[in-house]
Amino acid sequence: MNRELQIKTKDKEYPIKFCQSYEGLLGLLDHIDFTNKKVCIVTDTNVGNIYLEEVKNALGYSAEKVVAFTFPAGEENKTLNTVYELYELLINEKFDRKSILIALGGGVVGDLTGFTASTYLRGIDFIQMPTSLLSQVDSSIGGKTGVDFKGYKNMVGAFYQPRAVIINTKTIDTLPKNEFSSGMAEIIKHALIKDLEYLDWLEKNSEQVNLLNQESLTEMIYRSCCIKKDVVEKDEKEENIRALLNFGHTVGHAIEKIKDFTWLHGECVSVGMVVAAYLSYKRGYISKEKCYRINNVLVKYNLPIEVKDISPEEIIKVTKLDKKVKSSVLHFILLNELGVANIYTDVTDDELLNAINNII
Ligand code: NAD
Ligand code: ZN
């Protein structure tokens, strides 16, 4: 039986549905009426090459018109320029307020499509069809949409919820291995901040998961979606507990920038989580053994636990730059226990420097 979840946010309620093929897509979207509606499938070159035809075929003649917008894959294209081109297509094709966008791809496609949907004609419907592991467990759920601007990540955007999230777990088969590991970092993060039993599961099932066993993958993606759903429903606009999802991200973002985005997001977050765990240990919240346990699970999923050629001072400098732009106080997420995290605003430079020095 296919799994399903229902997300309830302030102004929208929508399902997250799981499948292993796009064949039955219309059945999964039976709460949406496509009759007399125009649909635009937005995708990138990598994903479009593999899945666009399948999705088009699955939609068949349900809609008045189905068009596609394919842009070159890569974060460097998550920009207003691409949004501009998409607006042009939508206007040329006479898309109106009843029209629907479908985001078929990873987080780049999802964020950009959601943002376009939120602004075109003051907001039209969109559907998330995430195809990367990261987008299936993280970016497609919760309504954060946006694009990068002048090198600042996600600087322009909106909170805008989709009408549905369709997770085809079979698409993970074609995902590059390093992208898979990158997504695993967010999954391990979910377990560390919210669910000790899930951490046990990830440790025990690493072989099956790494072999992309469908049953194990589905179980894992479903469990992560449950955690993300729970957090987002309690705090849609990141006013409090949604910030827990930033565990490992303060240092992770800094590494990402210093490495000039040559390391994948999850790889940077992995090292960031090791630093945050060490900080938690130094404060006496968790034991050293628990830090080792965290390192081990990251290694099981082929994630790095250290980074060479970066000075700790540089990381602290970049962390502060990020802070200046996005918020006035540095929020640090620490673990009080495996499976329990809290937000701290009192982490000092010395503490951070010490932790980074011990890791990197
Ligand atoms: P991505 O969209 O760039 O996808 C990674 C790569 O994998 C791309 O080259 C893509 O073409 C390819 N790909 C995706 N699915 C594939 C498949 N099934 N088969 C073959 N290739 C496939 O990156 P991502 O890691 O999915 O997402 C990262 C983006 O998500 C960033 O822009 C980040 O800011 C954003 N994000 C948003 C949120 C949110 O809440 N909105 C949360 C986390 C991250
Ligand atoms: Zn992340």
Share of the chain above pLDDT 70, in %: 98
Tokens read off for 173: 């088969």
3-state SS class at 14: strand
Please give the distance, rounded to the nearest whole angstrom, from the Cα atom of residue 114 to the centre of ligand 1: 14
**pLDDT confidence of 355, banded at 50, 70, 90?**
very high
Around 29, how many Cα atoms within 13 Å sit in the side-chain half-sphere?
27
* pLDDT > 70? residue 326: no
Q: What is the pTM of this model?
A: 0.96
Is the pLDDT at 261 greater than 60? The verdict is yes
Catalytic residues: 122, 144, 186, 228, 238, 242, 246, 249, 253, 265
Is the CB of 78 inside a 6 Å radius of any atom of ligand 1?
yes
pLDDT of amino acid 320: 83
- How far, in Å, CA of 37 to CA of 45, rounded? 25
Q: Calculate ∠ Cα 268-272-273, nearest 5°.
A: 120
Q: How far apart are CA 180 and CA 174, in angstroms?
A: 10
- State the pLDDT confidence band at 331, using cuts at 50, 70 and 90: confident
- Residue 144 predicted with pLDDT over 90: yes
Query: What secondary structure does DSSP assign to 80-127, as a single string?
Result: HHHHHHHHHHHHHTT--TT-EEEEEESHHHHHHHHHHHHHGGG--EEE
Chain length of the chain: 360
Ligand 1 pocket test, candidate residues 43, 108, 326, most atoms within 8 A of CB: 108
- Residues 319, 329 contacting (CB under 8 angstroms): no
Cα 238 to middle of ligand 2, angstroms? 14
For the chain, percent helix, then strand, then coil, each to nearest 5? Answer: 55, 20, 30
CA of 93 to the centre of ligand 1 (A): 27
Contact 100, 39 (CB under 8 A): yes
